[in-house]
Amino acid sequence: MKAKHIFWGLLFISLGVLILANNIWGINWNWISLWKLWPLLFILWGIAIMVKNNSAKIIIAGIAGIVFAISLFASFYSVVHLTTGDFNIVFDDKSDSRYEITDYSEPFTDKIKSAEFHFKAGAGSFVTENDTVSVLFKAHTEGIKDNYSLTNEVGDDNAVLNMEMKGTHLHFGKKGIRNRVEMAFNPAPVWDLNYDVGAASVDLNLSGVKVKSLNISMGAASLNVKLGEKYNRTDVNIETGASKVEINVPVNAGCEIKTAGALNSTHFPDFKKITGDLYRTDNFDTAANKIFINIDSGVSSLTINRYSGSW
């Protein structure tokens, strides 16, 4: 039997088993991480070229087929959260009538000193402008009416907000997919911000917010983040598949970057390479405010710039 027959056979068998198993039992693994297995295909391909033994080639082809199946399934899962609920695509020019504007907000009291925000959604455009609000949190959505739930748990001096997309229904009308969320935060509390999104365009201007931590997990996406220096230490953790990532940090803040990934294109002007994938600004040791950035990505374009002034 030829190696290519083994490859395609195990690819389709493995993909079918994964889809069937998920439909029956549900598979709640970290598919964004598994998606990153795809570079193994290059490694296996290279080994297959060097190996002369036909039996070994067949074994390698079989492993490659399984790896490719896992990567394909994981990429679709992470891009649109295909298996987290009922997934529906509707091609309908009249579907624009289903789109409405919905506003969400949570009140603020002076006793709230810290706050957590957890956001979970599939495909869409998610934006935070450089605007702060007097309420604790405010969101403006354009898409299916009431397609998000927002809950708030307030303790003695801490608030926990959870905003989640209710379903994974995508509607294609005359204006294409519309699932846009504009968010704004109160500048008084110290914030822990957490985003879990699929195929998305994420644009977060957080320069006016006290950000203690920013955690982003996404599939194939475009990410643009602007951080300020309202808090003395900000920890940023980004886990992504194939994405374009740009982060802007203030020039007065000391910044450290750690990267991990298969095939990344990096552009870190004004950063010095310390060791391996560790980079720091020249003022890292002396700056009063520090930003620590950890990026774990598949195949991505990574850019981190320093800015001065209000830009």
Write the Ramachandran bin of 200: left for phi over 0, alpha for psi from -120 to 50, otherwise beta: beta
d(CA 18, CA 32): 15
Q: What does the pLDDT read at residue 276?
A: 84
**Per-residue model confidence as pLDDT tens digits over 52-70:** 777 887 888 788 878 877 7
Predicted TM-score of the model (pTM): 0.71
The answer to whether 220 and 276 have CB atoms below 8 angstroms apart is: no
Q: Return the percentage of the chain with pLDDT > 70, whole number.
A: 75
Task: Kindly list the distances between the CA atom of residue 96 and the CA atoms of 90, 145, 168, 184, in Å, as whole numbers in the listed order.
Answer: 11, 12, 17, 26
Sign of CA dihedral 199, 237, 18, 71: positive
Query: Which among 113, 109, 250 has a CA at the least distance from the CA of 191?
Result: 113
pLDDT band at 112 (very low <50, low <70, confident <90, very high): very high
Note the pLDDT tens digit of each residue in 160-215.
999 999 865 554 445 445 688 999 999 999 999 999 988 788 999 999 999 999 99
Distance CA 122, CA 182 (A): 15
> If pLDDT is split at 50, 70 and 90, which confidence band does 38 have?
low
Least confident among 35-39, 120-124, 192-196: 35-39
Q: Is the pLDDT of residue 267 over 80?
A: yes
Residue 86: its pLDDT value, please?
Answer: 39
Average pLDDT over residues 16-42: 63
What does the pLDDT read at residue 70? 77
Q: What residue segments make up the domains of the chain, in order of their start? A: 3-80, 94-307
pLDDT of residue 208: 95
The gap from C-alpha 63 to its chain's centroid, in whole angstroms, comes to 29
